[in-house]
Amino acid sequence: MNSDRVKELEKRIAELKQRWPAHSVSPTMLQQLDELEGELEWELRRATGEQDNAKADGHVRLREMPT
């Protein structure tokens, strides 16, 4: 498992959620959260040997988003 990558994704998700407004979340923020959570799920599945299931579910590894 690439624990550094998992930690990085978890950190980015936490940072995004800290900026999350109480109301009227922008579509961009929703998309970022969805992409980060999808990539985190992919990394965790890959670590447990379920990469084929991740592909079958439609999750693919996303490019690193610029910050």
Q: What is the pLDDT of residue 56?
A: 58
pTM value is: 0.67
Asked if residue 62 is part of any domain, the answer here is no
Residue range(s) defining the domain that contains residue 32: 3-56
Please check whether residue 65 lies inside any domain of the structure.
no
Distances (CA, A) of 9 to 22, 23, 24, 28, 29: 23, 24, 24, 17, 15
Residues 6+ away with beta carbon under 8 Å from 41: 54, 59
Which two structure tokens, joined as six digits, stand for 55?
């592909």
What total number of domains does the chain contain? 1
| Residue 64 included in any domain | no
- Encode the chain (67 residues) as per-residue pLDDT tens digits: 578 899 999 999 999 999 999 899 999 999 999 999 999 999 999 888 765 555 556 655 555 554 4
Query: Within a domain: residue 66?
Result: no
Flag whether 28 is in a domain. Answer: yes
